[in-house]
Amino acid sequence: MQPWHRIFGLLLSDLLQRQLRLDCEVQLEPDMSLQQQFLDVLIIHRSPLSPHESKLPDGLSLNHSYSLLSYKSHREPLTLWTL
């Protein structure tokens, strides 16, 4: 089985930090709850975006100090329970 969540996070980390040179921290699968439950990707954004940095992937906005991302494959439906 492929570690799709980790691959997604690593690609996103490379895009934001190396290619777009954004001042942000990308954490992969941090535990975000009292009962163990992992989030796929956490992006902590430290400074405002400049105009040339705004070329983010469609659907990704870094307008806030943090972004929570969940990757769902075609085998894992996004339901109310997963939220």
Strand ranges in 1-83 using DSSP code E only, listed in sequence order: 24-28, 41-45, 66-69
Identify which has the larger pLDDT, 50 or 13: 13
- The pLDDT value recorded for residue 17 is 86
pTM above 0.75, yes or no: no
Q: Is the pLDDT of residue 26 over 70?
A: yes
Q: Is the pLDDT of residue 32 over 80?
A: no
Mean pLDDT of 30-57: 71
pLDDT above 70 covers a percentage of the chain that reads 77
User: Long-range CB contacts (< 8 A, 24+ apart) of 64-71?
Assistant: 66/42, 67/41, 67/42, 67/43, 68/32, 68/39, 68/41, 68/42, 69/8, 69/12, 69/39, 69/40, 69/41, 69/42, 69/43, 70/39, 70/40, 70/41, 71/4, 71/5, 71/8, 71/9, 71/40, 71/41
Q: How deeply is 69 buried, as exposed, middle or buried, from its count of CB atoms within 10 A (0-12, 13-18, 19+)?
A: middle
pLDDT band at 47 (very low <50, low <70, confident <90, very high): confident
Q: Is the pLDDT of residue 14 over 80?
A: yes
Domain boundaries, the chain: 4-69
Mean pLDDT of 67-78: 72
